[in-house]
Amino acid sequence: MTTDLREKVALVAGATRGAGRGIAVELGAAGATVYVTGRTTRAQQSEYARPETIEETAERVTAAGGRGIAVRVDHLVEAEVEALVARIRAEAGRLDILVNDIWGGEKLFEWDKAVWEHSLEKGLRLLRLGIDTHLITAHYALPLMIERPGGLLVEVTDGTADYNSTHYRLSPFYDLVKTGVTRMAWAHAQDLAKHSAAAVSITPGWLRSEMMLDAYGVSEENWREATKVQPHFAISETPRFVGRAVAAIAADPDRARWNGQSLSSGGLAKVYDFDDIDGSRPDCWRYMVEVQEPGKPADVAGYR
- List all residues 6 or more positions away from 34 whose beta carbon is below 8 Å from its beta carbon: 9, 10, 11, 12, 15, 24, 27, 28, 58, 61, 66, 67, 68, 69
Contact present, 256 and 149 (Cβ < 8 Å)? no
For residue 63, the domain's CATH number is: 3.40.50.720
Contact present, 240 and 22 (Cβ < 8 Å)? yes
| 220 found inside a domain | no
Domain that holds residue 72: 9-208+239-286
User: What is residue 2's predicted lDDT score, i.e. its pLDDT?
Assistant: 67
| 32 found inside a domain | yes
Using alpha carbons, list the distances in angstroms from residue 157 to 20, 82, 85.
11, 23, 23
Beta strands in 14-117 (DSSP E): 33-38, 67-72, 97-100
User: What is residue 88's predicted lDDT score, i.e. its pLDDT?
Assistant: 98
Contact present, 294 and 234 (Cβ < 8 Å)? no
User: What is residue 246's predicted lDDT score, i.e. its pLDDT?
Assistant: 98
Which one, of 25, 289, 40, lies nearest residue 165 by Cα? Answer: 289
| 217 found inside a domain | no
| 266 found inside a domain | yes
User: What is residue 10's predicted lDDT score, i.e. its pLDDT?
Assistant: 98
| 260 found inside a domain | yes
User: What is residue 132's predicted lDDT score, i.e. its pLDDT?
Assistant: 98
Q: From first to last of the 304 residues of the chain, give the pLDDT tens digit.
A: 568 999 999 999 999 999 999 999 999 999 999 999 999 999 988 888 899 999 999 999 999 999 999 999 999 999 999 999 999 999 999 999 999 999 988 888 888 899 999 999 999 999 999 999 999 999 999 999 999 999 999 999 999 999 999 999 999 999 999 999 999 999 999 999 999 999 999 999 999 999 999 999 999 999 999 999 999 999 999 999 999 999 999 999 999 999 999 999 999 999 999 999 999 999 999 999 999 999 999 999 999 8
**The pTM is what?**
0.96
| 291 found inside a domain | no
Beta strands in 116-258 (DSSP E): 152-156, 198-203
Contact present, 238 and 277 (Cβ < 8 Å)? yes
| 253 found inside a domain | yes
Name the domain count of the chain.
1
| 3 found inside a domain | no
User: What is residue 104's predicted lDDT score, i.e. its pLDDT?
Assistant: 86
Instruction: Give 231: exposed, middle or buried? Use CB within 10 Å, 0-12, 13-18, 19+.
Output: middle
